[in-house]
């Protein structure tokens, strides 16, 4: 997995602006450095956009599945597994659509199991290790709030494939948000120990929230294809949810410092490679196997 | 030669693999059935949850039931839109769920964001009918269920979640 190793070496991408070139013709498989451009050249916009949507769910779903058998209580073991199942199901629909958009004959399994780290387009937040249960639920809450707003917006777009997945996934995301926000309140407004730990979790994950609302050439290009999303409106909706829940949880919203970015263009933190090694090994060890 | 009526009847015998008290038709996942002059049947289904692992079994069981009923060829298509809702389950299916020990779903929420402040109304116990119940777990043995416990008769029970 040399590509994954190079992703590890490059480390987490710091905010370098959104300097992204977009191939206008045929899909370009993967990230290439092209003379004259600072940023990576990505594939066709729709393919790239669907990978971003799908990879967020796939990687977060895998992280949640790591709790299976390790939940702090039986109910939460079941809850994390159920949420993982929803997210991986959403990812399957999105990656199937991505494969169709790419037109190279790759299905959702090929895209999930036979892509290296630099070709993943998930945000950095979802690939971070789970930490304790409070860290997992804080990350889940911040993502769920984003996800509900994203699905609400996408359910209205004229691209029928995306709108259908969004309308379906929205119901699931709302249920997840209710669950994760309930835990943020319970832990934040809980004991001194639980409050301190979930506040630390919030402080440490905050640097990854800026990437959720980034806008680049891919977003502009898919807007022209019938998938316009108002990132600024999403951000203010997200701020309102986050502020309400954090207030109820007696937690302090961190100041916006430097934000970590890079996942959307394949510059990941070291954690993604390790996650993929676990997630992909069975499929790669037995290519073409059916079970 | 299989008729449209026979095809519908055959699919009506296929139980939901995870909640066998009701059929896949009563569950609302069967969206359309067409039969060609040559006896080829096309069934359109929609998943309950995005990651529902029972969809593979449902597709296989529908195929088998139709082939047993004389279909010359069976095609099962999956569509996502319109998204499945528990509101498609009729009164008969709901009563079958209750008799099976699963509280049937309430009305699906049509509004925007759920707020933390609004408490969910208590779910009636499918065993004793009491509303003195409490939510024990928002997620249950399958994607479509939550777990409650009845304070009146002390019985834990599943609820079919309204979505």
Structure tokens belonging to residue A278 = 């676990």
| Distance (Å, whole) CA B64 – CA B74 | 9
Asked if B50 and B58 count as a contact pair (C-beta separation under 8 A), the reply is no
Residue A21 included in any domain:
yes
User: What is the per-residue pLDDT across A108-149, written as a single tens digit (0 to 9) for each?
Assistant: 999 999 999 999 999 999 999 999 999 999 999 999 999 999
For chain B, domain boundaries: 4-78, 100-110+119-160
CATH code, A248: 1.20.1260.10
The pLDDT score that the predictor gives to residue B52 is 86
| Distance (Å, whole) CA A256 – CA A209 | 9
Residue bearing tokens 């096309």 = B42
Domain of residue A188, residue span: 2-285
For residue A87, list chain B residues with Cβ-Cβ distance below 8 A. 51
Quick check: A26 pLDDT over 80? Answer: no
The pLDDT score that the predictor gives to residue B143 is 85
Calculate mean pLDDT across residues B131-144: 90
Q: Which one of B51, B113, B136 has the shortest CB-CB distance to A85?
A: B51
Calculate mean pLDDT across residues A94-101: 97
Residue A167 included in any domain:
yes
The pLDDT score that the predictor gives to residue B118 is 58
Banded pLDDT at A91 (limits 50, 70, 90): very high
Percent of chain B scored above 90 by pLDDT? 77
The pLDDT score that the predictor gives to residue A78 is 95
- Which residue in A72, A89, A163 has the most chain B C-beta atoms within 10 A of its own C-beta, making it the best mutation to test that interface? A89
Residue A49 included in any domain:
yes
Q: How far is CA B57 from CA A10, A151, A269, B14, in A?
A: 44, 28, 39, 10
User: What is the per-residue pLDDT across A43-87, written as a single tens digit (0 to 9) for each?
Assistant: 799 999 999 999 999 999 999 999 999 999 999 999 999 999 999
Is there a contact between B50 and A169 if contact means CB atoms under 8 Å apart? Answer: yes
Distance from CA of B28 to the nearest CA of A (A): 15
Give how many domains chain A has, as a whole number: 1
The pLDDT score that the predictor gives to residue A288 is 85
- Hey, is the C-beta of A78 within 8 angstroms of any chain B C-beta? yes
The pLDDT score that the predictor gives to residue B110 is 59
Instruction: List Cβ<8 Å contacts ≥24 apart for B157-160.
Output: B157/B101, B157/B102, B157/B103, B157/B125, B157/B126, B157/B127, B157/B133, B158/B101, B158/B102, B158/B103, B159/B102, B159/B103, B159/B105, B159/B123, B160/B19, B160/B86, B160/B89, B160/B97, B160/B102, B160/B103, B160/B104, B160/B105
Q: Tell me the count of A-B CB pairs closer than 8 A.
A: 87
Banded pLDDT at A37 (limits 50, 70, 90): very low
Residue A161 included in any domain:
yes
User: What is the per-residue pLDDT across A204-252, written as a single tens digit (0 to 9) for each?
Assistant: 999 999 999 999 999 999 999 999 999 999 999 999 999 999 999 999 9
Closest Cα in chain A to B162:
A171
| Distance (Å, whole) CA B53 – CA B60 | 12
Residue A290 included in any domain:
no
Distance from CA of B137 to the nearest CA of A (A): 6
Is there a contact between A167 and B83 if contact means CB atoms under 8 Å apart? Answer: yes
Banded pLDDT at A32 (limits 50, 70, 90): very low
Banded pLDDT at A42 (limits 50, 70, 90): low
Name A277's Cβ contacts closer than 8 Å, sequence gap at least 6. A1, A4
Residue A264 included in any domain:
yes
| Distance (Å, whole) CA B135 – CA B71 | 45
User: What is the per-residue pLDDT across B84-111, written as a single tens digit (0 to 9) for each?
Assistant: 999 999 999 999 999 999 999 988 875 5
Is there a contact between B49 and A172 if contact means CB atoms under 8 Å apart? Answer: yes
Calculate mean pLDDT across residues B1-14: 94
Closest Cα in chain B to A171:
B163
Is there a contact between B138 and A241 if contact means CB atoms under 8 Å apart? Answer: no
- Hey, is the C-beta of A157 within 8 angstroms of any chain B C-beta? no
- Which residue in A72, A168, A169 has the most chain B C-beta atoms within 10 A of its own C-beta, making it the best mutation to test that interface? A168
Is there a contact between B51 and A171 if contact means CB atoms under 8 Å apart? Answer: no
Structure tokens belonging to residue B80 = 């996502």
The pLDDT score that the predictor gives to residue A40 is 53
Banded pLDDT at A15 (limits 50, 70, 90): very low
Q: Which one of A78, A172, A185 has the shortest CB-CB distance to B50?
A: A172
Quick check: A8 pLDDT over 80? Answer: no
Give me the helix-helix angle, A45-65 and A133-154, nearest 10°: 150
- ipTM value: 0.89
CATH 3.30.300.130 fits B4-78, yes or no: yes
Banded pLDDT at A165 (limits 50, 70, 90): very high
In chain B, which residues touch A (CB < 8 A)? 47, 49-53, 79-85, 108-109, 112-114, 116, 136-141, 143, 147, 161, 163
> Omega before A26 cis (within 30°)?
no
Strands A21-22 and B30-35: unpaired
Structure tokens belonging to residue A44 = 């066709």
Is there a contact between A87 and B84 if contact means CB atoms under 8 Å apart? Answer: no
For residue A178, list chain B residues with Cβ-Cβ distance below 8 A. 114, 116, 138
C-alpha closest to that of A60 among A155, A136, A152, A171: A136
């Amino acid at each position: 997995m040399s590509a994954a190793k190079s992703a590890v070496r490059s480390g987490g991408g710091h905010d370098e602006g959104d300097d992204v070139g977009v191939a206008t013709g045929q899909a370009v498989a993967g990230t290439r450095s092209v003379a004259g451009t600072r940023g990576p050249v990505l594939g066709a916009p729709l393919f790239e956009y669907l990978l971003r949507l799908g990879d967020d769910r796939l990687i977060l779903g895998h992280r949640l599945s790591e709790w299976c058998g390790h939940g702090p209580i039986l109910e939460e073991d079941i809850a994390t597994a159920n949420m993982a199942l929803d997210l991986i199901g959403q990812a399957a629909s999105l990656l199937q659509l991505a494969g169709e958009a790419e037109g190279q004959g790759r299905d959702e399994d090929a895209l999930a199991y036979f892509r290296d780290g630099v070709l993943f387009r998930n945000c950095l937040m979802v690939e971070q290790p789970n930490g304790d249960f409070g860290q997992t639920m804080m990350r889940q809450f911040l993502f769920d709030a984003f996800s509900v707003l994203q699905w609400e917006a996408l359910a209205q777009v004229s691209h029928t494939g995306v709108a259908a997945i969004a309308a379906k996934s929205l119901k699931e995301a709302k249920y997840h948000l209710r669950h994760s926000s309930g835990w943020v309140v319970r832990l934040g407004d809980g004991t001194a120990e639980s409050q301190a730990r979930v506040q630390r979790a919030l402080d440490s994950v905050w640097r990854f929230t800026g990437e959720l609302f980034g806008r680049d050439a891919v977003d502009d290009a898919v807007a022209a294809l019938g998938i316009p999303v108002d990132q600024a409106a999403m951000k203010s909706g997200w701020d309102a949810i986050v502020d309400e829940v954090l207030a109820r949880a007696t937690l302090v919203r961190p100041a916006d410092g430097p934000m970590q970015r890079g996942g959307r263009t394949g510059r990941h933190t070291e954690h993604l490679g390790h996650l993929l090694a676990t997630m992909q090994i069975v499929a790669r060890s037995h290519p073409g196997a059916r079970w | 030669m299989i008729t449209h009526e026979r095809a519908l009847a055959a699919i009506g015998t296929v139980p939901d693999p995870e909640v066998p008290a009701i059929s896949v038709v009563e569950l609302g996942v069967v969206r359309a059935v067409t039969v060609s002059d040559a006896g080829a049947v096309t069934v359109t289904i929609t998943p309950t949850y995005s990651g529902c692992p029972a969809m593979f079994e449902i597709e296989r069981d529908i195929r088998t039931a139709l082939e047993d009923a004389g279909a010359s060829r069976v095609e099962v298509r999956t569509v996502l839109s319109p998204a499945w809702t528990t509101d498609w389950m009729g009164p008969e299916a709901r009563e079958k769920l209750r008799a099976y020990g699963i509280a049937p779903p309430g009305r699906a929420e049509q509004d925007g964001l759920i707020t933390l402040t609004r408490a969910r109304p208590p779910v009636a116990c499918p065993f004793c009918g009491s509303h003195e119940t409490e939510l024990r777990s928002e997620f249950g043995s399958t994607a479509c269920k939550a777990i409650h416990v009845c304070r009146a008769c002390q019985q834990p029970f599943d609820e079919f979640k309204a979505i």
